């Protein structure tokens, strides 16, 4: 009985030590991500640290690297065979989505070439690209097969997002690629309504005219 107790106690101590060590390693990892310290990140990965670990906010390392613009770390994570390229954060956002929102043509290209999915249920990378500043990102995703009339959980389309938040060139691009101006979301709003809500009255008038 005593031998069993000591064996159990020793196993518990080892497990606790491992948990503490892993937590410390995670802190080091995400600190390195924020500092674009690819040397530390690569060293941790070589030691077996999981590149798909999440931080206290539910974010994965690659997503954070792209969000805070740590290109060397993003490259190291992208190069790791263990990195799950489409692992989403706590909000269901993938690395491709944040790269699209930031308008980074280079990173969108690299992520897609690594196998990132251009279509997904709910909010899609094209929704994010349409909301961002760079129409070339939306064009790239469309060329790779992104659904132009993808519907978000509330029924909104990429065109609606572009009409309110994105570049006017993105609106024109989506229209040219077949975006349906007559679609409405769950609140009964169409792309023209989104444009007007964003203070873009002239765009709203144009969209209404074309939709007739």
Say if CB 132 and CB 101 are below 8 A apart: yes
**Confidence (pLDDT) at 12:** 44
pLDDT of 162 higher than 50: yes
Say if CB 84 and CB 116 are below 8 A apart: no
What the block records as the tokens of 75 is: 């490259």
**Confidence (pLDDT) at 20:** 35
Give the residue-averaged pLDDT of 6-26: 48
Is it true that 1-84 and 94-212 share their CATH fold? yes
**Confidence (pLDDT) at 212:** 84
Give the residue-averaged pLDDT of 67-80: 97
Residue entry with tokens 């961002």: 132
Distances (CA, A) of 140 to 1, 31, 71, 93, 132: 66, 32, 20, 19, 13
Contacts of 80 (CB under 8 A, 6+ apart): 45, 51
**Confidence (pLDDT) at 23:** 59
What CATH architecture applies to the domain 94-212?
Alpha Horseshoe (1.25)
Burial class (CB in 10 A: 0-12, 13-18, 19+), 108: buried
pLDDT digits (tens, 9 = 90+) for 108-152: 999 999 999 999 999 999 999 999 999 999 999 999 999 999 999
Q: Helices 2-35 & 38-46, crossing angle to 10 degrees? A: 150
Residue entry with tokens 């906010």: 57
Say if CB 59 and CB 91 are below 8 A apart: no
The domain ranges of the chain are 1-84, 94-212
Among 152, 151, 131, 135, residue whose Cα is nearest residue 143: 135
Q: Helices 135-143 & 168-176, crossing angle to 10 degrees? A: 20
pTM of the model: 0.88
Give the residue-averaged pLDDT of 16-40: 78
Average pLDDT score, the chain: 91
**Confidence (pLDDT) at 11:** 46
* CA 119 remoteness from chain centre: 12
Give the residue-averaged pLDDT of 147-175: 98
Overall fold of domain 1-84: 1.25.40
């Amino acid at each position: 009985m005593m031998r069993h107790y000591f064996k159990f106690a020793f196993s518990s101590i080892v497990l606790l030590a491992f948990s503490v060590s892993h937590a410390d390693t995670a802190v080091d990892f995400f600190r390195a991500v924020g500092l674009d310290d690819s040397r530390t990140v690569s060293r941790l990965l070589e030691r077996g640290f999981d590149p798909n670990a999440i931080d206290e906010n539910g974010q994965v390392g690659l997503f954070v690297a792209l969000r805070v613009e740590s290109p060397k770390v993003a490259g190291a994570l992208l190069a790791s065979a263990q990195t799950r390229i489409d692992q989403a954060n706590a909000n269901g956002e993938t690395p491709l989505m944040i790269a699209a929102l930031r308008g980074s043509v280079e990173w969108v290209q690299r992520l897609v070439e690594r196998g990132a999915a251009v279509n997904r249920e709910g909010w899609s990378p094209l929704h994010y690209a349409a909301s961002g500043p760079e129409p070339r990102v939306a064009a790239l995703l469309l060329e790779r097969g992104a659904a132009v009339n993808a519907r978000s959980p509330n029924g909104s389309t990429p065109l609606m997002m572009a009409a309110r938040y994105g570049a006017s060139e993105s609106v024109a691009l989506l229209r040219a690629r077949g975006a349906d101006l007559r679609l409405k979301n769950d609140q009964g709003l169409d792309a023209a309504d989104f444009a007007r809500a964003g203070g873009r009255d002239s765009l709203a008038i144009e969209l209404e005219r074309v939709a007739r």
